[in-house]
Amino acid sequence: MASPGKKIERPVIDNPLLNIKVNPDGSLKRDPEPRNPANPDPNVAGAVLSKDLPLDANKKTWLRLYIPRQVKIHPSSSSKLPVIIYYHGGGFVFYNADSAFIDVFCKGLVEKVGVMVISLDYRLAPEHRLPAAYEDAMDGLYWIKTVKDKWLSQYADLNNCFLCGTSAGGNLAYHAGLMAAAAGMELRPMNINGLILHHPYFSGTKRTGSEERLKNDPFLPLYSIDQMFDLSLPEGADHDHEYCNPLVNGGSKNIDLMKSMGWRVLVTGCFDDPLMDAGLECANMLEGKGMQTVKFFTDGYHAMEVYDASMSGPLYDAIKDFIHCRSNE
């Protein structure tokens, strides 16, 4: 793992995490944000195609699928692609699969890593507290297992799938992974080979060193970390609930199931992220339980590669190496 170096400048963005407002009815005030429509037309310029498909109409959940434009134009010359099932960040309370910067990040995964991406639009808290998002993630995995979709049948290598998420999405990928490991053969023909936890959103009642050092971080201050967990955890739960702190009781028993299935884990972080130490502690815990664990930590701030696409190159390289089992050391 690299050592801290230079400070990375943060872009100026409209950051809702700094001023979270709850309405009198308990719902969250969410201002309009830029959204990107899907683009399934190969005749339109762009390296990546995308389309939206419903998941559960009652829950208002849906999925955005991404493929390289090239495989649509020249299908006979293309082998099937590894699949990344992606979960967006936002503290479980903000953003959507079509949020502009999340859409751009997913397109980058497709273009730079060489994968098919399936991005889940899950239910948000506090209107739908955890484990609602985890349940939506499992709905998505069963959808992949059973749906008859041309993009999946023609381009997806369902034997080579990875659960990936940024921030709260990293937390979601971890817990969806625990649930998927318990489901085991029920998810066949889909085969999950590992987890990619990008700046995962974990915390606890005991402050980590990075939380203390960066409690006034301009992007993700400690009060925002706490408030979003208060809004998303089950009513009455403290921050040592298993949904918040993966180290509770020594970690989930389902980790042994993931290990027995040969899953690998990539945990990434940045040195100026308050969540860095919690992510590193999770990686060390998994490694201590015998899981093959890769750590990729660099200079920068929380979710840097999502907020600023120009910073995403090294992360995409690390994910590409991980998926293709090349060393990240």
Q: Which residues are catalytic?
A: 167, 273, 302
Q: Is 228 exposed, middle or buried (0-12, 13-18, 19+ CB in 10 A)?
A: buried
Q: Are 32 and 328 in contact (CB under 8 A)?
A: no
Q: Are 66 and 117 in contact (CB under 8 A)?
A: yes
Query: Could you give the CA distance from residue 221 to residue 275 in angstroms, rounded to a whole number?
Result: 10
47-56 own/partner pairs: CB under 8 Å, 24+ apart: 47/107, 47/110, 47/111, 48/107, 48/110, 48/111, 50/103, 50/106, 50/107, 51/151, 52/98, 53/147, 53/149, 55/120, 55/121, 55/136, 55/139, 55/140, 55/143, 56/136, 56/139
Q: Are 229 and 204 in contact (CB under 8 A)?
A: no
| Strands of the 81-87 sheet, one edge to the other | 48-56, 61-68, 116-121, 81-87, 156-166, 192-198, 264-272, 292-301
Could you tell me the maximum CA-CA distance found in the chain, to the nearest angstrom? 57
